[in-house]
Copies of this chain bind each other. A is one copy, B any other.
Amino acid sequence: MVYDKENFKNITIKDVAKRAEVSIATVSRILNGKDRVSPLLAERVLLAVKELQYQPNDVARALKIKESRSIGLIIPDIENPFFPALVRGVQDAAKIHNYAVILCNTDGKTEEEKKYIQFLYSKRVDGIAFTESVDNKKNIALLDSLGIPVVLLDRRVEGMKASGVSTDNRLGAFMATQHLIEKGKQRIGFISGSPKLSSGADRASGYQDALLHYSIQYDKKLVFIGAFTYESGYAAVENLLLSRHQFDAIFAANDIMAIGAIECLNRYGIRVPEDVAVVGFDDIRLATWYKPLLTTIRQPVYEMGQYAIKLLVEHITGERSCPYEKIFAPELMIRQSSGGLEESK
């Protein structure tokens, strides 16, 4: 199988026109169903299309109408268990609107993000769905100067410079902490995500809100800054253990860190949930496969991906002109790692 381009008779609109004995303008009109055309010609054209197996060249179309029917999706890493569902939501929604999704992994590097934005711009994507790694607004500004519609994924938008889709992280963290408190826990450790991200900062706020609300002293010795990774969750607990500060619960700002935390606790012979209760955040699939089943805050990730594209398309078509922020409600999923549904002891 030699892929010699020349061997493949690229059927163009011209071929169809010739076969149907009409002008190329007529073919175009019929295929796009815009102007009115006589049914007679339409029939002839459609027949020719079928006979020749004609597939319009979207590249040429894109050049002409300045609309590529493709969008960029920039995320840190598809291997991070948080993203597959998000990506799937994006892709499913994009498919409905007939957009191609170009996937980009940045590993959370601002420089990579910038490169990809330029790359996507050269491809003249119609819009970009973007999970920024750092909330630095620089890349948003770049996008803005390029005139590319953006929707921020899993990020709250400071100053509403762009539309965004996220979960109410602050509320979610409040609920998680509250759950632990209602379980009778008083010394609740917190493993934060990166405070540079709105998701990280908001979850930290929610944790503090809950302590305040229940009149529990905030103790910064119980707080560690993680990086949303397994390793950072593990390390945080190890540090906590070595510091010899008492604690009876851990709230980790995402599930992977929670699992890292539990692994570390187990390693030191501490039982979850008997000795220490643990709550995570995100409700990734693993949360229900891991043992103990992980109590966590569910984000409707798939729906967030879908909604982001809905918004993005509205911006692309001009249906919506002002930035809009969609915030989904978090949901507490009570499972084993926090002691389940039983009463506090």
Contacts and interface: CB of A to CB of B under 8 A. Distances in A.
A1 B291 contact: no
Interface stretch (A19-27, A40-48, A76-84): A76-84
A323 B2 CA distance: 9
A91 B105 contact: yes
A277 interface: no
A147 interface: yes
Contact of A1 (B77, B92, B321): B321
A152 to B, nearest CB: 13
Contacts of A122: 55-58
Contact of A3 (B83, B102, B289, B315): B315
A238 to B, nearest CB: 18
A91 to B, nearest CB: 6
Contact of A147 (B8, B70, B259): B8
Interface in A39-87: 55-60, 62-63, 66, 68, 70, 73, 77-79, 81, 83-85, 87
Contact of A78 (B88, B291, B321): B88
B105 A102 contact: no
A141 to B, nearest CB: 11
Contacts of A119: 100
A120 to B, nearest CB: 8
A327 to B, nearest CB: 19
Interface residues of A, number: 63
Contacts of A124: 57-59
A103 interface: yes
A182 interface: no
Contact of A55 (B78, B121, B291): B121
Contacts of A221: none
A62 B58 CA distance: 11
Interface string A197-222: 00000000000000000000000000
Contacts of A58: 122-124
A259 B321 contact: no
A79 B70 contact: no
Contacts of A315: 3
A248 to B, nearest CB: 23
Contact of A79 (B79, B88, B149, B286): B88
Interface of A: 1-5, 7-8, 10, 55-60, 62-63, 66, 68, 70, 73, 77-79, 81, 83-85, 87-88, 91-92, 100-105, 118-124, 144, 146-149, 161-162, 259, 285-286, 289-291, 315-316, 318, 321-323
29 contacts: A1-B144, A1-B323, A2-B321, A3-B149, A7-B147, A8-B147, A55-B121, A56-B122, A57-B122, A58-B122, A59-B63, A59-B123, A60-B63, A70-B102, A73-B103, A77-B88, A78-B78, A78-B88, A78-B91, A79-B84, A79-B85, A79-B285, A81-B285, A83-B84, A87-B103, A91-B104, A100-B102, A100-B120, A286-B286
